[in-house]
Amino acid sequence: MSAHAETLHHGPAKGFSRWILTTNHKDIGTLYLVFSLIMLFIGGTMAFVIRAELFQPGLQLVMPEFFNQMTTMHGLIMIFGAVMPAFVGLANWQVPLMIGAPDMALPRLNNFSFWILPFAFTMLLSTLFMPGGAPNFGWTFYAPLSTTYAPPSVTFFVFAVHMMGISSILGAINVIVTIFNMRAPGMKMMDLPLFVWTWLITAFLLIAVMPVLAAVVTMVLMDVHFGTSFFSAAGGGDPVLFQHVFWFFAHPEVYIMVLPAFGVISEIIPTFARKPLFGYRAMVLATASIAFLSFIVWAHHMFTVGMPLAGELFFMYTTMLIAVPTGVKVFNWISTMFKGSMTFETPMLFAIAFIVLFTIGGLSGLMLAIAPADFQYHDTYFVVAHFHYVLVPGSVFGIIAGVYYWLPKWTGKMYDEKLGQWHFWLSFIGVNLTFFPMHFVGLAGMPRRIPDYALQFADFNMLTSLGAFLFGTTQLLFVYILVKTVRSGKPAEQLPWEGARGLEWSVPTPAPYHTFTTPPELDKE
């Protein structure tokens, strides 16, 4: 398989300029992944502040205004800084390797898309030191809290979001062009690995909704600085309009944050079950239907704004419908495991935890879809529990699983399996200890985004905080494992996983700087 040995025209440039000037998909993938890891820790530190304040009732550590800045920045950084760039990093490394392309289609654009991000986030983080403080209106920045009543830093927030949006759109264009034009000769669309399929669909979602986000932040900017009244009733506008535009972006956005993880899991499960994916076509179809449905469910975030009955019913029904293709995915993963020959290395453990815990999040999503019941759930910790279940053991575990899975190919070294298992179990316990009790306090009546709470919520909040500290510190172990692998890991084999299939495993280990400079021959099964 490794017969087509790569002829290296030139290796990477030396020194720091390699990383600034690089147009190599592997370098850029690494940059994205490292960047997202840094953001994970910055956002995690903010979560730490939040959970420390909520450890006990009463105000202890921070003032309410700073608390609100922490919840806002935590959300923004985790979504736009940690999860999304991590997926782009995985796409950069894996899409060319999996379709047999030498690089991304638009390498310079690729470099540009990445290098926008450090500037965007430096600007966003700098608002913490501005007079009036950082944005404090929640990651959802509802008007008029984010317009008339916003701190001056809202202007920088708008600009930072614009930059992130440009980065995402350019990244998405690159993925689409690469997949459409650079597949190995003879590779048809229905031969694409699922990770590539899910990313292709995600890229279309990004192109469709990032401009909507740009529109809504621009309207906020206009209301703040240029005297318009998009969101102010006093000038003929409507605060609810903000929510419609925002959620038209933000609901597809939540799927942007999970579809690529579906792809990763769909690669890992067959490998460690040593059995082909149960329903490849069904998986592609389910992903596409989820993407389509995600455009017509947005107002399920707005059941309490006073929509007409017909509106409530429409969004309730469409939201419930999304559970069907989501179920199809879960059933397919489980049927793939069924009658397989399974082993449980770290990537598989994270993948199985993904299936279980993501499903729990999907089921609570189904409960939230029931509009009358949502009148009780909305804006409580029950919602916080729901979206953390789909995003942390969902998206984040998906990313971690992917990193462990492909790390041997990227670095040529094997991570320490024992430490990997520790990392998994501590994360698994931490994540459940943190987020499971949130269901209970939410149902019992605790609103979200509050720095202080009534006494009956005290015990569960303490448990949650302890869980969060455990989960947070465990991720330091992850960093240690990564560093240890790169510096002193045992050399990995060409095919580190017995059951792995796919073009990415056909290149030498570690993957050389340039791969597939001549297109691979596809061996027909």
Residues contributing to the site for ligand HEM (CB under 6 A): 140, 254, 257-258, 300-301, 319, 322-323, 326, 362, 365-366, 368-369, 374, 377-378, 383, 386-387, 390-391, 394-395
**436 near another protein, rule: CB under 8 A:** no
Residue 276 binds to another protein (criterion: CB under 8 A):
yes
Asked if 439 is an active-site residue, the reply is no
Give me the 196-235 binding string for another protein, x by CB under 8 A, dash otherwise. ------------------------------------xxx-
Residue 470 binds which one of Cu ion, ligand HEM, another protein, none, with CB within 5 to 8 A depending on kind? none
257 binds, among ligand HEM, another protein, Cu ion, none (CB under 5 to 8 A by kind): ligand HEM
Catalytic: 253? yes
Rounded to an integer, what distance in angstroms lies between the CA atom of residue 450 and that of residue 439? 16
| Residue at 523: amino acid letter | D
155 binds another protein (CB under 8 A): no
Work out which of 1, 8, 63, 130 binds another protein, going by CB under 8 A. 63
Angle between helices 194-225 and 280-293 (to 10 degrees): 10
Least distance between Cu ion and beta carbon 139 (Å): 13
Distance CA 157, CA 179 (A): 33
**For residue 270, how far is the Cα from the chain centroid?**
22
Is position 473 annotated as part of the catalytic site?
Answer: no
What is the greatest pairwise CA distance in the chain?
72
Q: Any residues with CB less than 8 A from the CB of 188 and at least 6 apart, and which?
A: none
378 is catalytic: no
The residue type found at 253 is E
Q: How far is CA 198 from CA 118, 406, 485, in A?
A: 26, 17, 29
Q: What is the DSSP string of 108-125?
A: HHHHHHHHHHHHHHHHHH
Do the beta carbons of residue 272 and residue 348 sit within 8 Å? yes
| Phi-psi group of 306: left, alpha or beta (phi > 0 → left; psi -120 to 50 → alpha; rest → beta) | left
- Of the candidates 253, 201, 243, the one whose C-alpha atom is nearest the C-alpha of residue 219 is 243
- Is 395 a catalytic site residue? no
**How far apart, in whole angstroms, are the C-alpha atoms of residue 170 and residue 113?**
6
Rounded CA separation 221/383 (Å): 29
321 counts as binding another protein under rule CB under 8 A: yes
State the binding string over 112-151 for another protein (x if CB under 8 A, else -). Answer: -------------------xx---xxx---x-xx--xx--
What minimum distance in Å lies between the beta carbon of 413 and ligand HEM?
Answer: 31
Rounded distance, CA 506 to CA 521, Å?
11
413 is catalytic: no
Considering only 373, 476, 479, 483, the residue that binds another protein (CB under 8 A) is 373
Q: How far apart are the first and last CA of the chain?
A: 15
Roughly what angle, to the nearest 10 degrees, separates helices 417-444 and 397-411?
160
The minimum distance between CB 304 and ligand HEM, in angstroms, equals: 8
Closest chain position to ligand HEM (CB): 365
| Nearest approach, Cβ of residue 380 and ligand HEM (Å) | 8
- What residue 391 binds from another protein, Cu ion, ligand HEM, none (CB within 5 to 8 A, per partner kind)? ligand HEM
* 10 given a catalytic annotation: no
Both tokens assigned to 264: 């990763």
Our answer to whether residue 326 is catalytic in this structure is yes
Write each residue from 14 to 53 as x if it is in contact with another protein (CB under 8 A), else as -, in one continuous string: ----------------------------------------
Match 């179920």 to its residue by tokens. 327
74 catalytic residue (yes or no): yes
Considering only 173, 288, 419, 466, the residue that binds another protein (CB under 8 A) is: 466
Taking the least distance from each CB to another protein, the nearer of 380 and 395 is 380
Q: Which is nearer to another protein, 60 or 517 (CB)?
A: 60
Q: Residues 183, 99: contact at Cβ < 8 Å?
A: yes
For the annotated catalytic residues, the residue numbers are 74, 103, 139, 167-168, 251, 253, 255, 266, 300-301, 326, 329, 448
